[in-house]
Chains A and B, each alone.
Chain A
Amino acid sequence: MEAASITETASAPPPARKVGDVLNAYALPLLLFGALLAQFIYEPTGTLENVKTGLSNGMVWALIALGYTLVYGIVELINFAHGEVFMIGAFVALSLWQTFGVTESTGLALIVVSIIAFLVASMGASATLNVLIERAAYRPLRNAPKLAPLITAIGMSFILQNVGLLWRPTPDQVPDLIGSHSVYFTIFKVDVLHSDVFAVVVTVPLLIGLLWFVGSTKYGKAMRATAQDPDAARLMGIDVDRTISLTFLLGGLMAGAAGLIYALYNLTVRFNMGFTAGLIAFTAAVMGGIGNLKGAVIGGLIIGVIQAVSDGGNFLGLPLGEAWTPAVVFAILILVMVFRPQGLFGEETREG
């Protein structure tokens, strides 16, 4: 549990426990899984299809969620602008393809090279942006009441969204470089598309790399130490400012990658895509227990599946559908925050 921190209501009592105890570490995941199982019996192929879509979509949420969870873990700030950092990543990738004239008809080798190169570029752009945001908007407020940086973050998010709007006023098509909607293979009657494979192939190494970095390098140790107790970390000779910058950098890297994957996966980008994506990913981070990296990944996958199932329409007789999906995700966000604020999987050390 984080120490009571720097808000005006510094000594605010902690969130509810009672119902949280009832919905203990296993109850909520089991409930979700049970519902999914019931839906599977009710409609097997459709459900499997949704789970597949959800998992590959969830990869993107997981990458974004990592940015929230890293930053919250270390400075206890909901980085509202993170969704926009993701959007900028997608925009950068698209602009590069447009600039270099890469299209579906470009040769395979060039496409592969462009994807790798621009993945690095969009990751770099998002990371730089994220670090700059921290410098300009959050660092001056490091010791202000907690709500001040949150409001600043909201302001930042709006600014970036409008930058996106000026950059691309209308939704833009992304060249279908990977043949997104073509079937790669079929398993249990479920078509696995190129886009699904692409999302997994790009995301998994990044996730492993990040977990390794935070878990095993000295920079990761500095991050974890700073997350636990910035003052103590400073006394131990850790450069807290640099560590915080590094955290934003890592979050930005992941968001940039997510932007590129999202662009190729959905083949369309829009200036306000970051807002919803950001909230979905934030829900994932909270589900996994904010500050908990593995939790954020699992939370992202769970949210992906929930979203896909809800998009699928009829859920156990409930007339859901795409129009309801945001409400479903937000309802889950509320449920988790109110009843299980430490996340589905109980408490773990931050940055763990």
Chain B
Amino acid sequence: MRFLASLRSGRDTVTGMIPGWVLAVVLIVFAVIFPYLVGSGSFLDASTQTLAYVIMALGLNIVVGFAGLLDLGYVAFYAIGAFVIGWFGSQQFPDVNGGKGIHILASDRATFQPKLSGGRLDIAGIHINFFIVLFIAMAITALWGVLLGAPTLRLRGDYLAIVTLAFGEIVPRVFENSTSGLFGIGSTDFSHGRQGITPIDKINLPWSHDLLYSDANLKPAYWVALGMVFFTIFVNRRLRDSRLGRAWIAVREDEVAAASMGINLVRTKLWAYAIGAAFGGFAGVFLGTYNNTVNVDQFEFGFSVFILAMVIVGGMGNIWGVIVGAVALSMMNRYGLPQLNSLSEPLGFDVTSISFGIFGFFLLIMMVLRPEGLIPSGRRRLELREAEIEGSEDTGAVGDMSQMYEVRQ
């Protein structure tokens, strides 16, 4: 019980023996010096992508783990974030500003192209500094989180899941089809259709024209992603231990009781959607520039499930569990499977092609054998285990639930 108490009280140390801050310092130091340990090769590349997935998993964890809203369309926010950098960091809109483009603290070497004569900023298109776009994208995705979340608020768990899934499918289709205006209005090309937007501006510090990293030296890209991860963890932890975090858990456990305690269900859930979505966009911007392309093929349902699997495998609701889950699955996907493939390929078998099947298998095994995840939050485990024991305890407990909240929220 003491073990559980230590988990609950917000100090999620793995053993409960080592003080949390010691573990944190060790991990942070390790994460920072990590590129020096592995060099700037494919392993670092995989690690950098993994960091972006960690951000998304933490974002989705707010929606699924904290607030208990199963979101199967998280890829929509990745897509929106990626398209924001696609629009604000490429030559997608060549005609703006009379073809001279708009440049805000952008590099003149934004796309790894040879330096332009005299460093003139006259590349066509909109070019806004990466670090500014990050926050623009967060704001935009948060807004979309609210817009897409609002219709789902009163739906039951599985219906909510399907509606979010549908949104996750619609958003990329809209991008894909908006090659000549939106729904036939206007004629701007927003996406280049299936080809996608490429190249995307690389990262430069606002006060410098030098690009932060190159293909030969990926370390700075890793550190940018790591900084973003720290920011995400910081916000997640602060929110979890706040009035809003308590409200999320209360809503997850019992909506009726939560509302009766003065919690505004609509506002509480929309905050979860908004903040969760914002981190999807946050990571989306990074992946857009890091992958140098924004392409609708990246935004499949499978991706939503991929991120969801990270949250579930790690342990819904537990920040450290989710990070472990994200790192494990992402490294397996980005590094482990390709490695394994070099063994299986001579046998004529492509392991990477069935990566989603492997994640599906993990999801299934986790749900059947260990629904609380590898490193569950204390409460989440109890909830999941308890429901098994109690079965349908709540069924019809309160007279006529269909009449409850018959009114609007």
> Is A in direct contact with B (CB under 8 Å) within the complex?
yes
| Chain A residues in the interface with B (C-beta under 8 A) | 1, 3-18, 76-78, 137, 140-141, 143-152, 154-159, 161-163, 165-166, 169, 275, 279, 282, 286, 318-319, 323-324, 326-327, 330-331, 333-334, 337-338, 341
A-B residue pairs in contact (CB < 8 Å), sample of 29 = A5-B394, A7-B157, A8-B253, A9-B157, A9-B255, A11-B256, A11-B257, A78-B158, A78-B162, A140-B368, A143-B387, A143-B392, A145-B384, A146-B157, A154-B305, A155-B359, A155-B364, A155-B367, A156-B360, A162-B353, A319-B184, A324-B177, A327-B173, A327-B174, A330-B169, A331-B170, A334-B170, A337-B162, A338-B152
With A8-B253, A337-B159, A337-B162 known as contacts, the answer to whether A150 contacts B70 (CB < 8 A) is yes
Given the known interface contacts A3-B401, A6-B395, A154-B360, the answer about A149 and B255 at a Cβ–Cβ threshold of 8 Å is: no
Chain B residues with Cβ under 8 A from A77's Cβ?
158
Contact between chains at A326 and B169 (CB < 8 Å) = yes
CA distance A295 to B367 in the complex (A): 32
| Contact A158 B394, beta carbon cutoff 8 Å | no
Is there an interface contact between B364 and A11, defined as CB atoms closer than 8 Å? no
Interface of B, helix, strand, loop or mixed by DSSP: helix
Contacts of B354 in A (CB 8 A): 162, 165-166
Q: Which 7 A-B pairs have the closest CB atoms?
A: A162-B357, A158-B360, A155-B363, A13-B405, A10-B394, A155-B364, A330-B166
Q: Which residue of B lies closest to A18 (CB)?
A: B408
Q: How long is the Cα–Cα vector from A169 to B383 in the complex, in angstroms?
A: 41
B243 at the interface (CB under 8 A from A): no
Contact A162 B360 (CB under 8 A): yes
Set of chain A residues within 8 Å of B213, measured between Cβ atoms: none
Decide: A334 and B312 in contact? CB cutoff 8 A.
Answer: no
In contact, A158 and B363 (Cβ under 8 angstroms): yes
Task: Given A161-B356, A282-B162, A330-B170, check contact A152 B368 (CB 8 Å).
Answer: yes
B183 touches A (CB below 8 Å):
yes
List residues 115-156 of chain B with CB under 8 A from any CB of chain A. Answer: 151-152, 154-156
- Cβ contact within 8 Å between B169 and A156: no
Contact yes or no, A6 B387, CB < 8 A: yes
Contacts of A162 in B (CB 8 A): 353-354, 356-358, 360
Q: Which residue of B lies closest to A139 (CB)?
A: B368
The reply to whether A323 and B173 contact each other, CB–CB distance below 8 Å, is yes
Contact A318 B151 (CB under 8 A): no
Contact, CB under 8 Å: A11 / B169: no
* Contact with A338, one of B151, B254, B402 (Cβ below 8 angstroms): B151
B68 at the interface (CB under 8 A from A): yes
Q: Report the separation of the CA atoms of residues A166 and B348 in the bound assembly, to the nearest whole angstrom.
A: 11
Q: In the complex the two chains form, is B163's CB within 8 Å of A334's CB? A: yes
* Closest chain B residue to A77, Cβ basis: B158
Residues of B385-409 at the interface with A, using a CB-CB cut-off of 8 Å, are: 387-388, 391-392, 394-398, 401-402, 404-406, 408-409
Of residues 291 to 342 in B, which have CB atoms within 8 Å of A's CB atoms? 301-302, 305, 308, 312
Find out whether the CB atom of B395 lies under 8 angstroms from the CB atom of A155.
no
Do A8 and B383 have beta carbons less than 8 Å apart? yes
Roughly how many angstroms separate A327 CA and B169 CA in the complex, as a whole number? Answer: 7
Interface digits, B163-198 against A, CB 8 Å rule (1 contact, 0 not)? 101110110011011000001100000000000000
Q: Are A144 and B255 in contact (CB under 8 A)?
A: no
- Give the distance to chain B from A23, nearest Cβ to Cβ, in Å: 14
B43 proximal to A (CB < 8 A):
no
Task: Give every chain B residue within 8 A of A76 (Cβ-Cβ).
Answer: 158
Indicate if B361 sits at the interface (CB-CB under 8 A): yes
* In contact, B357 and A143 (Cβ under 8 angstroms): no
Known: A1-B402, A159-B360, A323-B177. A145 touches B162 (CB 8 A): no
Q: How far apart sit A46 and B177, CA to CA, in the bound complex (Å)?
A: 23
A148→B364 contact, CB < 8 A: no
Task: Identify which of residues 190-229 in chain B touch chain A, using a CB-to-CB cut-off of 8 Å.
Answer: none
Q: When chains A and B are docked, how far (Å) is the Cα of A141 from the Cα of B404?
A: 28
Tell me if B105 is interfacial: C-beta within 8 Å of chain A.
no
Please indicate the chain A residues that have their CB under 8 angstroms from the CB of B151 in the complex: 334, 338
> In the complex, are the beta carbons of B155 and A155 less than 8 A apart?
no
Q: Which residues of the other chain, B, contact A158 by a CB distance below 8 angstroms?
A: 302, 305, 356-357, 359-361, 363
Judge whether A16 and B154 touch: CB under 8 Å. yes
Given contact pairs A141-B367, A323-B176, A15 touches B357 in the complex (Cβ within 8 A): no
Residues of A contacting B308 in the complex (Cβ-Cβ under 8 angstroms): 151, 154
Q: B371, A148: Cβ atoms under 8 Å?
A: yes
| Chain B residues near A327 (CB-CB < 8 A) | 169-170, 173-174, 177
Task: Give the docked Cα–Cα distance between A143 and B161 (Å).
Answer: 19
**Cβ of B119 to closest chain A Cβ, rounded Å:** 41
Q: How far is the CA of A165 from the CA of B252 in the complex (A)?
A: 38
Distance to closest chain B CB from A19 (angstroms): 10
Query: Which of B364, B383, B387 makes the CB contact (< 8 A) with A159?
Result: B364
B34 interface hit (Cβ, 8 Å): no
Given contacts A4-B394, A8-B253, contact A144 B155 (CB under 8 A): no
Query: Chain A residues with Cβ under 8 A from B70's Cβ?
Result: 147, 150-151
Question: Closest residue of chain B to A275, judged by CB?
Answer: B301
Residues of B within 8 A of A13 (CB): 154, 255-256, 401, 404-405, 409
| Distance in Å: Cβ of B379 to nearest Cβ of chain A | 10
Closest CB of chain A to B22's CB: distance in Å? 34
Nearest chain B residue, comparing its CB with the CB of A164 = B357
Q: How far is the CA of A159 from the CA of B391 in the complex (A)?
A: 28
B255 near A11: Cβ-Cβ < 8 Å: yes
Known: A3-B395, A4-B394, A145-B384. A14 touches B169 (CB 8 A): no
Tell me whether A14 and B154 are in contact (CB under 8 A): yes
Q: Do A6 and B391 contact each other (CB < 8 Å), given the known contacts A15-B154, A158-B302, A159-B360?
A: yes
Using Cβ atoms and an 8 Å threshold, which residues of chain A touch B256?
Answer: 11, 13
B315 to chain A, nearest CB (A): 14
CA A8 to CA B394, docked complex, whole Å? 10
Q: How far is the CB of A331 from chain B (nearest CB, A)?
A: 6
B368 interface neighbour in A8, A10, A17, A137, Cβ under 8 Å? A137
Contact across chains for A9 and B252 when beta carbons are under 8 A apart: yes
Extra A-B contacts (18), CB below 8 Å, given A13-B401, A14-B401, A147-B158? A3-B395, A7-B156, A9-B157, A10-B395, A11-B256, A147-B70, A154-B305, A154-B363, A155-B364, A155-B367, A159-B360, A162-B354, A169-B353, A279-B169, A286-B162, A323-B176, A327-B177, A338-B151
